Every structure is written in structure tokens, then in C-alpha cells.
């Protein structure tokens, strides 16, 4: 009988410790990413310039309660409705994690693995060609969060 009482006391104590440990957890791990602004003005290229700095910076806001891997960015082609395309090889990004401007011909790491929330400021540059038509171009920047290693 004594053994049964001690066993049940240990089981109840272990369940109590387990419940207390679960109560201390903040919840499920999460990583949310969004960018501001949601549209960018690529500016107006000069007749004599072949590369143009985008006048606005893009800020990627990361909200997280856990460790996440590097954050990558890539771009689709920028297409003009009436013809004209700017390929990702001519779209460049610079952050504190890159060494200067890097072409987005393949995904670019814009941050290192990190714990918690932070902001990433992206400077963009677009290479234009002499006879490319002016107008409204549409395309997407794709942000991917890699798992921690």
C-alpha cells in the first residue's frame, strides 16, 4: 500500500511539473514577415544613366518568437503592359547582410539566422537600357524564410 501511495504521489508530481513547464511556454513558435510599402516607385531613369537607385527603401519587418534561418529575396521579371521587360539580373538589392548591391538573378540572403523580431532595410537598384519604354512595370519580390540550421 505504501508503494502505491508513493508511486501515485510521484506520478502526480511529474504531471504537475509537466503542466507548469507547458504553462511557461509562450505558445507555438511563429515567424511573420511583411514588407512596407507594398508598392515601390522605381523612379525615372535619366537619358544618360544606365542604372537607377530606387528612391524609396523597402523595409522587411520580421516578427518572431523563435530562431529562424536566413531570409532570402528573389524577384520576378518586371513587365510593362505594352511590352518591355526588366529581368531579375538587372534588379539589385543591398542590405547590411550583403556586400554592396547584389543582382537578384538567383535568391539573395538579406539576413543571417536570428532570434526574435527585427527589421531589414532593402536598398534597390534597377539597371535600365537606353531604349526601354517608360511606363508602369509590374512584378514581385519573393521573400523566403529558411529553417534554422
In order along its 149 residues, the chain shows pLDDT tens digits of 444 334 343 333 334 434 444 444 458 999 999 888 888 776 665 555 555 666 678 899 999 999 999 999 999 999 988 888 889 999 999 999 998 999 999 999 999 999 989 999 999 888 877 667 777 888 999 999 998 87
Fold classification of 29-145 (topology level): Immunoglobulin-like (2.60.40)
Q: Tell me the whole-structure pTM to 2 decimals.
A: 0.72
Domain residue limits, the chain: 29-145
C-alpha cell read off for 29: 513558435
72-105 burial: b if 16+ Cβ within 10 Å, else e: bbbbeebeeeeeeebebebbbbbbeebeebbbbe
Which residues are within 8 A (CB) of 90 and not within 5 positions of it... i.e. 6 or more apart? Answer: 103, 126, 127, 128
- Find residue 143's DSSP bridge partners: 73
Amino acid at each position: 500500500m505504501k508503494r502505491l501511495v508513493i508511486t501515485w504521489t510521484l506520478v502526480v508530481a511529474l504531471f504537475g511539473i509537466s503542466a507548469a513547464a507547458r504553462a511557461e511556454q509562450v505558445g507555438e513558435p511563429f515567424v511573420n514577415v511583411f514588407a512596407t510599402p507594398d508598392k515601390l516607385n522605381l523612379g525615372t531613369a535619366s537619358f544618360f544613366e544606365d542604372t537607377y537607385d530606387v528612391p524609396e527603401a523597402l523595409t522587411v519587418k520580421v516578427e518572431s518568437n523563435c530562431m529562424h534561418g536566413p531570409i532570402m529575396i528573389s524577384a520576378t521579371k518586371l513587365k510593362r503592359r505594352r511590352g518591355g521587360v526588366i529581368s531579375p539580373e538587372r534588379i539589385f538589392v543591398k542590405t547590411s547582410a550583403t556586400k554592396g548591391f547584389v543582382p537578384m538573378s538567383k535568391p539573395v540572403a538579406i539576413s543571417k539566422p536570428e532570434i526574435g523580431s527585427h527589421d531589414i532595410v532593402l536598398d534597390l537598384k534597377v539597371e535600365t537600357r537606353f531604349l526601354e519604354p517608360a511606363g508602369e512595370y509590374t512584378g514581385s519580390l519573393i521573400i523566403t524564410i529558411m529553417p534554422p540550421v
